[in-house]
């Protein structure tokens, strides 16, 4: 069994914001595989099902971003899963809009939700799918991640969510290394390597 967790903030106020891309990807995976993310378990909303012949749990922490690790660690512990059974999907301000990076470990790179997961699990070894959200103009980070998608980004949201869901499916079916080779991508129109 794999636990796939999307990071975000609960409530309708945050639904269409960059910080909720993890939740949007969970919703897309749930739609594709007819999984209802409706069961409250501790500090998360979750749903279980099967895709690509693998049992999966889709998780949306309900503790707000900065405490995401609490609910995720409870779900893993309750099911005797470990950090190696976890895929975390989240927005990444360090990457340009439309970029995607799959990693198997590493620092939180300033992302408070990921810091919380690392602290709760006491390890930075878990697969993460980082979805780039940085626009091509200067922003106040705290305001930007919690504000609704601007008109210039909104047109790409469905494609970004679908592409990220495809990447998660690939990780489940083929493993992280193959998914990295297929899905890690630079932002549209950018040639130099991003972090």
Q: Cite the active site residues.
A: 19
How many whole angstroms separate alpha carbon 89 and alpha carbon 92? 10
Q: Residue 24 — left, alpha, or beta (φ > 0 → left; ψ -120 to 50 → alpha)?
A: alpha
Structure tokens at 8: 């975000």
The upper half-sphere exposure of residue 147, i.e. CA atoms within 13 Å in the direction of its Cβ, equals: 11
Q: How does DSSP classify residue 191?
A: -
Q: Angle at Cα 106 formed by Cα 48 and Cα 158, nearest 5°? A: 50
Q: Are 64 and 72 in contact (CB under 8 A)?
A: no
How many whole angstroms separate alpha carbon 87 and alpha carbon 99? 18
């Amino acid at each position: 069994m794999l636990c796939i967790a999307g990071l975000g903030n609960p409530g309708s106020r945050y639904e269409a914001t960059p910080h909720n891309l993890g939740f949007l990807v969970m919703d897309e995976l749930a739609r594709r595989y007819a999984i209802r993310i409706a069961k409250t378990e501790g500090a998360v909303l979750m749903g279980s099902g099967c895709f690509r012949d693998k049992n999966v749990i889709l998780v949306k922490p309900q503790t707000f971003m900065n405490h995401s690790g609490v609910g995720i660690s409870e779900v893993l512990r309750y099911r005797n899963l470990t950090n190696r059974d976890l895929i975390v999907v989240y927005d990444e301000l360090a990457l340009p809009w439309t970029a995607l990076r799959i990693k198997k470990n590493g620092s939180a790179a300033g992302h408070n939700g990921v810091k919380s997961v690392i602290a709760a699990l006491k390890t930075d070894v878990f697969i993460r799918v980082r979805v780039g959200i940085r626009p091509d103009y200067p922003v106040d980070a705290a305001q930007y991640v919690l504000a609704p998608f601007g008109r210039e980004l909104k047109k790409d949201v469905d494609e970004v969510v679908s592409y990220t869901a495809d990447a998660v499916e690939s990780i489940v079916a083929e493993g992280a290394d193959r998914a990295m080779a297929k899905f890690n991508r630079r932002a549209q129109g950018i040639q130099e390597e991003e972090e």
